[in-house]
Chains A and B, each alone.
Chain A
Amino acid sequence: MTVKFDKYILNNGMVIVGEPMESVRSAAFGFSIPAGASVLDEGCCGAANIIEDWIFRGAGERDSRQLSDELDGLGLHRSSSIGSSHLSLGAALESTNLEKAVGLYADIILKPKLEDDQFELAKELSIQSITALDDDPRQKVMLILRELFYPQPLGISNIGHMEDIEKLGADKVRDILKNNFNPSGTIFSVAGKYDFDNVVKQLESVFETNEKLAKKEIATKPAVNKYTHLHNEGAQVHIGLMTKTVPPTDKDIYNARAALAVLSGGMSARLFTEVREKRGLCYAIGARYHGLKDTAGIMCYAGTTPEKAQQTLDTIITEFNRLKEGITEEEIQRAKVGLKSSLILSSESTSSRAGSIASDHYLLGRIRSLDEIKEKIEEVSVKSIQNFLEKNIFEDFTIVTIGPKEVKI
């Protein structure tokens, strides 16, 4: 399975990467624009959320309605997300419409209308999405967890802070957009069925500029990192817990991934077995890797009724600590098969590949082939994980709970 990746860099630094896929009729593409939640001006938390809505309310010659009709006419499935470093806009569609779709997105990024009356609507929706978070404690607990875990503002909420967003005006957000929608730091990725030469020609004609803008450095403050409880008379206590591990660029990343899979890979992994199967404490329990460029953590979630909350938390922390006491050969084998298999299963999805190659390029400066990742997973052993765990103990836990009852730390 040797895949050749496509890559081209414009003079201004904008990167274009692609992964051709056989036997698909679809293509997925994405623009990762360096306007993520943590890079925007201080006190403007939520601006990215407004921008993500506002730019779709008319672009180029089209008003909001015409733009939406054209996008829908192409049958494309939009997806956008706001990360710590990037705001990503993308879509998946039948590949015959790719060129038209990329053209529309170029207008949305470069020539959004940004009208004042549309701003008020975009802002109102962003405010509502912050309110809506109160009715989704599971999502909210993880959002607050990232804010407290990472050095500020790296984990800042991608939805927004009410006190900031209420103060934002159209001019301020226009400025933020102008300063951050920068082709120099943008990565375009495409996967599936496409013609790379055409893609490059099209993007070059609209995104090429003479100036190469410098990358913005973000000044960080230490993480807050203390136990936080929000009271809510819901049915469950929602527990979020995060602890430091190696970033995606670290040579030990595959050891970290495999150790995490032992803890929370499949259903035979330790957290599921100990918390749910043996003790019946939770329905939802799991941990996953969350990595930014230079810092990363393992994020764990559990939801449980109030009287079981303390035991749930204690059992989870015991399992984190027990990892360093030893891992069996069978556990490692299952972890490795699971990692390799999910890699291959997701490789059939054009959206998933378009996302992966963009993130590889951003985090590592290059795209890893499936073969390379498989090889690295193969190299992991009981010994290598033990060495890794000795150097990287899980000792500090950032913990957030939402629900009717607090836990003791």
Chain B
Amino acid sequence: MEFKKTQLSNGLNIIGEINKKAKSSAVGYFVKTGARDETMEINGVSHFLEHMLFKGTDKLSAFEVNEAFDRTGAQFNAFTSEEMTVFYAAVLPEYLCEVTDLWSHLMRPSLRDDDFNMEKNVIKEEIAMYQDLPNFDVMDRCRSMHFEGHPCGHSVLGSVESIDKLSAVQMRSYFNNRYAPNNMTLTVVGNFEWDKVTDLAQSLCNKWQKQPVSRETSHFEGSFKKQRIIKANLASEHICLISSGVSAQDPRRFAAHLLATIIGDTCGSRYFWELVDKAIAQCAYMQYAPMDGTGALYSYFQCNKENANTVIEKTNKIFSEISGKGVTEDELTKAKNKILSSLVIKNELPMGRLVDVGFNWIYNSEYLTVEQDMDAIRQVSTEDIKLLIDDIQPAQYTHFSIGPE
């Protein structure tokens, strides 16, 4: 493994981890923009833009873009979160340059009106699809309530109303600022030739204009509000709790990851033994979401409506025990083993590696090998976790439920 980095004069970062033994490579443009960088007036524009980039350039139609990707056999797609828009492809090494070339062109899209109007339909279908996924819906609503008044509470998809009102002019103006080269990182991992990639980026991206770009990154504790809504067509109760967490820059993020695993991994965790093993909840887990300048611990439960109160009581008890006594050595060791092996498995695929390498660089301007990431996990002690619990107080949470009448 060899790490390489460079920066073009306009601020575009290019980073790469070369692994000559890999059978494939993966490439991605990481654009540091997402729902938290929007105003409510244009809510959903980052995600809509992600769709629009596939619609082509002045020289390529949408169909030609799809054709060009498919000719290389690439597995390509994109995703948008509250704070990042990532365009990626996993591909055989012989096609890496062709795919990087294509993505580089697409980063300067034409954003045509007729494509914009047609794609509005698709975006609204995507919003409808997630409305039929209550596990997603409850997390989304809970996040908005938790981060009330903070931009991290903006919905990634936006609403049917905000999408209806959004104009192509507003989108272009947002694009011109947020897709500045100094707000983007080109990441390449796996089996590839570094010089070829940088030459290509140099020739295609050098004319992109640097822009002043900023983001509000203050920490936010959370609103700690509580709400339940009824959806008559549901059969089960869906519950989301959000506690405060540490940021993606915080050295305690490794401890936070372990804490979430101890409390709420899908098997062998405290949630598992108290709720799932006893058949009180059909599903219970906790996930740590590190973000730019802030963070959160998300808990999700699915259970019969009659069990909803018991789930909350048991969860409160778990939080209060953890806050009092911390976690045991034994629990910590198990959680470490799980995370370590998942790091090994995930990073054996260039596609899995791409996201870790890219995010590490964007949040912390540092490169960590898989081994360094694993060491950081190994070094966390029960004392570190106790200090983290004392600081973030997971027992305080925002609570949102959706369920039947």
Contacts and interface: CB of A to CB of B under 8 A. Distances in A.
B189 interface: no
Contact of A272 (B66, B91, B277): B66
A393 interface: no
Contacts of A266: 66, 69-70
B150 to A, nearest CB: 28
A141 B135 CA distance: 18
A256 B363 CA distance: 46
Given A69-B334, A281-B125, A349 B349 contact: yes
Interface string B313-334: 0000000000000000010011
Interface in A109-138: 120-122, 124-125, 128-129, 131-132, 134-138
A341 B23 CA distance: 11
Nearest to B265: A72
Contacts, number: 199
A23 B338 contact: no
A69 B74 CA distance: 40
Interface stretch (A166-174, A194-202, A233-241): A233-241
Contact of B70 (A135, A338, A349, A351): A338
B128 A235 contact: yes
Interface string A25-48: 110000000000000000000000
A24 B234 contact: no
A269 B71 CA distance: 11
Contacts of B24: 344-345, 348
B345 A77 contact: yes
Contacts of B278: 121
Contact of A73 (B66, B76, B333, B350): B333
B341 A269 contact: no
Contacts of B336: 75
B213 to A, nearest CB: 30
B283 interface: yes
A138 to B, nearest CB: 7
Contacts of B134: 135
A77 B338 contact: yes
A97 to B, nearest CB: 8
B279 A138 contact: no
Contacts of A315: none
A76 B267 CA distance: 11
B72 interface: yes
Nearest to B238: A135
Interface in A349-396: 349-351
A268 B119 contact: no
Contacts of A134: 234-236
A348 B131 contact: no
Contact of B125 (A71, A138, A305): A305
B58 interface: no
Chain B residues touching A, range: 35 or more
A22 B21 contact: yes
Nearest to B74: A341
A378 to B, nearest CB: 13
Contacts of A282: 122, 125
B125 A268 contact: no
Contacts of B267: 68, 71-72, 78
A75 B73 contact: no
Contacts of A233: 232-233
Contact of B337 (A73, A234, A345): A73
Contacts of A78: 267
B348 A24 contact: yes
A234 B63 contact: no
Nearest to A343: B73
Interface string A4-22: 0000000000000000001
A273 B349 contact: no
B312 interface: no
Given A69-B330, A75-B339, A276-B122, 16 more contacts: A22-B21, A72-B337, A76-B341, A125-B282, A132-B282, A132-B302, A234-B131, A283-B123, A330-B67, A337-B70, A341-B92, A342-B73, A342-B75, A344-B92, A345-B91, A350-B345
Interface of A: 22-26, 57, 64-65, 68-69, 71-78, 92-94, 120-122, 124-125, 128-129, 131-132, 134-138, 232-236, 238, 265-269, 272-273, 276-278, 280-284, 303-305, 308, 330, 333-334, 337-342, 344-345, 347-351
